Amino acid sequence: MIRVSEMVFDQLFDCPKKISSGEKVVVVFSMFFVLVSVGVFLIEN
């Protein structure tokens, strides 16, 4: 899971010029939501 998140962050920072600032915010929030969901899932189990 950590490696997957690192890959996602690498892709996000590798192509900042391709993504507009608005879309970048959406991507960051969606990634944050996914990470929080995974954390809660792991804690509950």
Q: Which range of residues forms the domain containing residue 28?
A: 19-45
CA angle 43/38/34 to nearest 5° reads 150
Whether 8 is in a domain gets the answer no
Residue 41 has pLDDT above 80, yes or no: yes
Whether 33 is in a domain gets the answer yes
With beta carbons less than 8 A apart as the criterion, state whether 11 and 27 touch: no
Whether 45 is in a domain gets the answer yes
Split into its structural domains, the chain has a count of 1
Whether 5 is in a domain gets the answer no
Whether 24 is in a domain gets the answer yes
Whether 44 is in a domain gets the answer yes
Query: Which has more confidence, 33 or 19?
Result: 33
Whether 31 is in a domain gets the answer yes
Whether 30 is in a domain gets the answer yes
Mean per-residue pLDDT over the chain, rounded: 77
Query: Which has more confidence, 18 or 44?
Result: 44
Tell whether pTM > 0.75. no
